[in-house]
Amino acid sequence: MSRRTARLAAALALVGVTTALAACSTGAGGSGDPVEDGPDVLRVLAGSEVKDLEPMLRQSGVKVRISYTGTLDGAEQVARGDADGSYDAIWFSSNRYLSLIDGAKGRLSTETKIMSSPVLLGLRTAKVKELGWEGKPVSWEQIANAARQGRFTFGMSNPASSNSGFSALVGVAAALSDAGEALSPEQVTAVTPRLKEFFSAQRLTSGSSGWLAEAYARDGGVDGLVNYESVLLGVKGLSLVYPSDGVVTADYPLTLLASATTDKRELYGRLTAWLRTPDTQRRIMTTTHRRPAVPEVRPGPEFGTAPLLELPFPNRRSTADGLITAYLDEARVPSRALFVLDTSGSMQGDRIENLRRALVTLTGADTSASGTFSRFRDRENVIMIPFSGSVGQPRSFTLPEGNPRPVLDEIRAYAQGLRTEGGTAIFEGLRTAYQQAAATANDGRYTSVVLMTDGENTDGISYDDFAAFYRALPEGQRRTRTFVVLFGDSDVEEMRQIATLTGGAVFDARGGSLAAAFKEIRGYQ
Amino acid sequence: MKRSIGVALALLLGAVVVVAVVLGNRNGEGAGGGPVAVRGVIGSEKKPFFDDPLVRAAFAKHGLRVEVDTAGSRQIATEVKLDGYAFAFPSSLPAAEKIRKDRGVATVFSPFYSPMAIATFQPIADLLTGAGLVRDSGRGYQVFDVAKYLDLAAKGTRWDKLPGNTAYPARKRVLLTTTDVRTSNSAAMYLAITSYVANGEDVVNNTGQVTKVARSVAPIFLDQGYSQASSEAPFDDYLVMGSGKTPMVMIYEAQYLSRVFAGDGSIKPGMRLLYPSPTVLSKHTLVPLTADGSKVGQLLTEDPELRNLAARYGFRTADPAAFNGLVAKHGAPAARDLVDVVEPPTYEHLEGLISNIDRLYASGAVPQQESPRGVR
């Protein structure tokens, strides 16, 4: 994620996005007061998955300044050397993908595992009973068969944005491929039809495992989640399914960067030693439901007694990337992404240029791995809805399977042709998006809306009018979430209300580029 | 073999005595009167030893405060920038030799060594016994037949296909877990063992053999999938996560014995230590880069207190009494006289084997069905 974009700490009671974009530095001092950088401060680049550990670090006696970023973005930053000098250590749920990137290993020094949590399926207890899985060993094969038959639905985070989704994808692929060894690219190709069957039951996606659990707890809408055991144990009413043929486990290695100075190395040593003391390990276990990383602490009863087989993880980046590509382009339920775009007069100049660039980024101009995975994908339907004083003509693009380039070029040309004029009819634009979605509601796509505006509503219907319209929609259409992007002089309060109303989230691009915000939202589409 | 090791140790100790005489004067106090900080880079399996307050106290008596960073031994030999360090302490002689030559260091220290071993679980050992891979040595310990293992692995055998297996019906391949051979010494020592067997029971000693043998043993590394960078991690997984993740793992004997000696309950009933046949000895060798680094090496080799502490961490030292005493006291499953011990290849050939496997990782061209024993 871009350093410059800072997500509005969406403390939106209902929207409740808990992940943070990069550069949201907060200190171990807790509730948001950032630890000032200094010679006695350990600077850690981390994944949002470890955010729940931050308050506990205050007792370590080491000052820690944590900045959060997405798993894949963080891995690329570290591998490129961008983290060297700015950070002393990294802390993601796994170093496995990172280690597959050329040149990354040399940038890492000591790795210390702090805790672990397998990625599992959690289903409503009644559903587990209905499927006859209660108290029985269940394999991924059985899970995939039940998914193909439409006997349950689930939510999972996007494998290109979040480690829990990626781990699940690796696990399901390894189990369904019937391979006893690490997957090869050929095996990925062979198993893709089976993956498609399994993912046909996915009805909710997310850029972060935390948001996924919150969205489920708030809205339901699916029978369960694929997520970390630690997250699932914190969601009421879920029974955990421990697949008998194996899982992929996150091991949260707090990792020193090779570039760290001697003083920082010492801080790192003190912090990791403290984190691995039996007392701290027990506290991590009881407060976060992660399994302990030291043999002196016995896992509690909540983790069950089923032995967990660990599935082999790919040892080549091409295989890992091939899996993500197969998921996005073939296996997942194809998406419909509606972009409601402010082209009012106030957008003139830098702002419209920023918007054009952001859209062009999503057509493949960003050639990093995270950029490639966040571009518009095969089979996707993208609908652009520009608005100013009134709503412009919606334009629909559908990317074919196999050769998306010509359509990506059309989208790029469209973006470059966006012109500004007139007022700001935000809610007319948003209503049009929901009407467009309704017109194609039954084609099985996973539909979501992005609303980007730089100012207040000046024309057309009001927020209240829109809310009334929305509430009158059939239940299925109300499932379409709106992800709002704050930009320029957005009305923050009204934007939050939209996200809350529709179960979406707020992304703040006021401090930086729209491209970074769009890229992050792609995890939720 | 054992005799040659004894000779090597005696020679090293002789060298050490000379160094000890030179460095013998104790002048290690820092300017402020506190201990002098000395930083080294070490193989991860020795970190618990260096972190031990008793070890730190023993060094402090000599005016030193030893701080360590961990890295894979091959990384230490090739990638790690050694300029800021007072010593490098990789886990084997070949890696240390490379550093010694690169840095023009005259004298190195091999204060302790540890044979390569396999940590597993009773049900797994039983299955392997049934499959003919594990047998009793007749000397109070069990051995793991590497030649038979390579045959089994070459056939792609899965756990659930072993006859009569109800104890561990996993669909994954029967593969020893190792660290990443590209970074870590314990995997390189495993490569030393398997290359010896695949080379027709002979140490690989020319480039023609290197190419052939690397291709034949590569699958037992690559088919594991992602392997961790350094030796502490998979053994931790073995202790904490059990057979589901790590049914059998290649380790240093010291890793297992230190846990037995500590009596911390981490070695649970049903955990088993096996010795591969053949095995190799990993000679932890300290390469000093500064005078303070030399002093660390000297103390580790000479100081009786540090030697006794090393034994508590499962290392075998030049003075076997402490180690043997601990084995007897804890009834530890340590082999008293390992007979089937072979030498690792020279640094050059070991590095050649690793680079060949490294290229196969990069190309993805893994020879899947070649018999590792087919090379003669």
In the structure, what pLDDT confidence band is assigned to residue A103 with cuts at 50, 70 and 90?
confident
What average pLDDT does the segment A482-505 reach? 95
From-to residues of CATH 3.40.50.410 in chain A: 334-524
DSSP A340-372: EEE-SGGGTTHHHHHHHHHHHIIIII--SHHHH
Chain A neighbors of B50, CB-CB under 8 A: none
Instruction: In whole angstroms, give the CA distance from residue A470 to residue A465.
Output: 9
Q: Pick from A109, A180, A183: which is nearest to B71 by CB?
A: A109
Tell me which residues of chain B have a pLDDT lower than 50. Answer: 1-31, 365-376
Based on DSSP, count helices (H) and strands (E) in chain B, helices before strands.
15, 10
Q: Which two tokens stand for residue A288?
A: 């976060």
Domains and CATH numbers, chain B: 2-112+284-330 (3.40.190.10), 116-280+339-374 (3.40.190.10)
* pLDDT of amino acid B79: 77
CA distance A340 to A449: 7
Give the closest-approach CA distance of B239 to chain A in angstroms: 6
Please answer yes or no on whether B243 and A181 come within 8 Å at the CB atom: no
Tell if the CB–CB gap between B240 and A258 is shorter than 8 Å. no
A394-439 pLDDT per residue, tens = 999 999 999 999 999 999 999 999 999 999 999 999 999 999 999 9
As to burial, measured by CB atoms within 10 angstroms (0-12 exposed, 13-18 middle, 19+ buried), residue A323 is: buried
Token pair in block for residue A318: 């091409």
Class of domain A26-113+253-289: alpha beta
Given an 8 Å threshold on Cβ–Cβ distance, is B222 in contact with A110? no
At residue B210, what is the residue type?
V
Per-residue pLDDT, averaged over A262-277, amounts to 95
Amino acid A254: pLDDT: 98
Encode pLDDT of B320-352 as tens digits. 999 999 999 999 999 988 989 999 999 999 999
State residue B13's pLDDT score: 44
The token pair at A17 is 């996005």
Of the candidates A185, A128, A119, A176, the one whose C-alpha atom is nearest the C-alpha of residue A152 is: A128
Q: What CATH number labels A117-249+309-323?
A: 3.40.190.10
- Best mutation target among A101, A110, A257, A276 (most B Cβ atoms within 10 Å) is A110
State the best of A105, A252, A257 to mutate against chain B, taking most chain B CBs within 10 Å.
A105
Interchain CB distance below 8 Å, A295 and B223: no
> What is the complex's ipTM, to 2 decimals?
0.83
pLDDT at A33 (0 to 100) = 57
Residue B357, pLDDT score: 96
**Using CB atoms, which residue from B229, B240, B242 is nearest to A294?**
B240
Ranges A175-184, A198-207, A331-340, A470-479: which has the least confidence = A175-184
B277 to chain A, minimum CA–CA distance in Å?
Answer: 25
Task: Report the distance separating Cα A73 and Cα A62, nearest Å.
Answer: 27
Distances, alpha carbon B121 to alpha carbons A308, B80, B168, B338, in Å: 15, 36, 11, 21
CA-to-CA distance for B120 and B248, rounded, in angstroms?
4
Q: So what's the pLDDT on residue B19?
A: 40
In percent, the amount of chain A with pLDDT more than 90 equals 82
Contact state of A182 with B225 under an 8 Å Cβ cutoff: yes
* Helix and strand numbers, DSSP H then E, in chain A: 20, 19
Q: What are phi and psi for residue A502, nearest 5 degrees?
A: -100, 0
How much is the pLDDT for B229? 83
What sign for the dihedral angle of Cα A200, A204, A205, A209? negative
Higher pLDDT, A386 or A15: A386
Taking a C-beta distance cutoff of 8 angstroms, is the pair A376, A362 a contact?
Answer: yes
pLDDT category of residue A191 using cuts at 50, 70 and 90: very high
Contacts of A277 in chain B (CB under 8 A): none
For residue B32, what pLDDT is reported?
55
CATH dotted code for A334-524: 3.40.50.410
B229 touches chain A (CB under 8 A): yes
- pTM comes to 0.86
- Residue B364's pLDDT is 56
pLDDT above 90 for A21:
no
Asked whether the beta carbons of residue B229 and residue A99 sit closer than 8 angstroms, the reply is yes
Domain with CATH 3.40.190.10 in chain A: 26-113+253-289, 117-249+309-323
